[in-house]
Amino acid sequence: MDANALNDVSGTMHDSYGRRLNYLRVSLTDACNLRCVYCMPEDIRFRPAAALLQDDEILTLIRVAASLGVDKVRLTGGEPTVRHGVVDLVREIVAIPGIARVVMTTNGVKLAEQAEALAAAGLAQANISLDSLDPAKFRRITRRGDLADVWRGIAAAEAAELLPIKLNCVVTRGFNDDEVVELARLSLANPWEIRFIELMPFGSVADFQQDQVVSSAETRRRIETALGPLEAVPGHNGHDPARPYRLPGARGRLGFISSVSEPFCEGCNRLRLTADGRLRLCLLRDDEADLLTPLRAGADFATLRRLMAEAAFRKPWGHRLEQHDIAKSREMSQIGG
């Protein structure tokens, strides 16, 4: 069966491996108010606004995706909260028929001022990046951030019930690998999921990243040595890259995202829309389909739908890092993780 038949008959998208694709991650901007060492070079230049999808273009492409069975959207960046009009955009995405859940990944810096409005607009949940508990280390990693802003953001997200709160920590050797035990301890008293992410080599900072990778196995060993054996939490959703564990007696959980050492391709149900309108088929591979050009050339809904379905069908399987094949066409911040 070809891609069109497979995808159009059912109103759902599948790739050539039979994976159903119902989750779209949308990068709202490549710009950011931080400059994390593992994500982008310090002197990065962001794309001009005209090169990025406008609100109506984002809404059209999400409607197309929804017509192909996408029901979950995660807004990301760069930093999604720096996009002008993000609250109104959330409200309009939530209203798209078929979209059941809209969530966000954010560095949390602006959440103190935005969480309540985002929740009122229909945002359901937030993943918030938190790489260190030490203000000086946090600044070294982010090159400019103030940790107190993130704590205020986390409190605001909880108050606004953007639940469950998930805190993303990219473990980076020499920057925060000595803090994983303290970060894991946060799950004892708080109903949060602390997620330890393996550093992925990417874009122009790939050489730095490769030297700084800490495997999930090493992070886990460190935590267990200090705090005792972790219990696997039953009922793991196979589409969630974070395998869930619990410290004995903890209110919250820990998760380990091992995209490099243990890729979770069989459970992958996601596609990514970059801020410049490309459908990115896999985070760690450079395969993309340009949807911005046909959209701006006046392609109708049916044509966009066919282009999206055909591209989705070509979604690859597996990264090629062992072959030293590193995705270099973009920085992580231009895709959104």
Residue nearest to ligand SAM (CB): 337
Structure-token pair, residue 12:
């759902």
C-alpha to C-alpha distance for 181 and 5, rounded to whole angstroms = 50
DSSP state of 176: T
Shortest Å, Cβ 216 to ligand SF4 = 18
What are the distances in angstroms from CA 119 to CA 27, 157, 163, 301? 19, 9, 10, 30
Query: In sequence order, what are the residues at sequence separation of 6 or more whose Cβ sits closer than 8 angstroms to the Cβ of residue 163?
Result: 125
Shortest Å, Cβ 1 to ligand SAM = 35
Shortest Å, Cβ 6 to ligand SF4 = 34
Shortest Å, Cβ 297 to ligand SAM = 29
197 binds ligand SAM (CB under 6 A): yes
Residue-wise over 164-178: b if at least 16 C-beta within 10 A, else e? ebbbbbbbbeebbee
Full DSSP string of 60-129: HHHHHHHHTT--EEEEESS-GGGSTTHHHHHHHHHTSTT--EEEEEE-STTHHHHHHHHHHHT--EEEEE
Shortest Å, Cβ 139 to ligand SF4 = 12
333 binds ligand SAM (CB under 6 A): yes
The item of ligand SAM, ligand SF4, none sharing an interface with residue 35, based on CB under 5 to 8 Å by kind, is ligand SF4
Shortest Å, Cβ 312 to ligand SAM = 22
332 binds ligand SAM (CB under 6 A): yes
Q: Which of 24, 65, 157, 170 binds ligand SAM (CB under 6 A)?
A: 170
Residue 29 burial by CB count (10 A; 0-12/13-18/19+): exposed, middle or buried?
Answer: buried
334 binds ligand SAM (CB under 6 A): no
Q: Which of 7, 29, 67, 168 binds ligand SAM (CB under 6 A)?
A: 168
Nearer residue to ligand SF4 within complex by CB, 148 or 217: 148
183 binds ligand SAM (CB under 6 A): no
Which residues inside 53-112 make contact with ligand SAM, applying CB under 6 A? Answer: 76-77, 79, 105-107
Shortest Å, Cβ 164 to ligand SAM = 16
CA atoms in the 13 A half-sphere facing the CB of 59:
14
Site map 266..295 versus ligand SAM, x via CB under 6 A? ------------------------------
The item of ligand SF4, ligand SAM, none sharing an interface with residue 114, based on CB under 5 to 8 Å by kind, is none
199 binds ligand SAM (CB under 6 A): yes
Question: Which secondary structure element, helix H or strand E, spans residue 142, and what is its range?
Answer: helix 135-142
Q: In what order do the strands lie in the sheet with 243-246?
A: 231-232, 243-246, 253-257, 193-198, 166-171, 125-129, 101-106, 72-76, 23-27, 270-273, 278-280, 288-290
The item of ligand SAM, ligand SF4, none sharing an interface with residue 175, based on CB under 5 to 8 Å by kind, is none
Q: Is 278 helix (H, G, I), strand (E, B) or coil?
A: strand
Name the residues that contact ligand SAM, by CB under 6 A.
32, 38-39, 76-77, 79, 105-107, 129, 168, 170, 197, 199-200, 202, 209, 332-333, 336-337
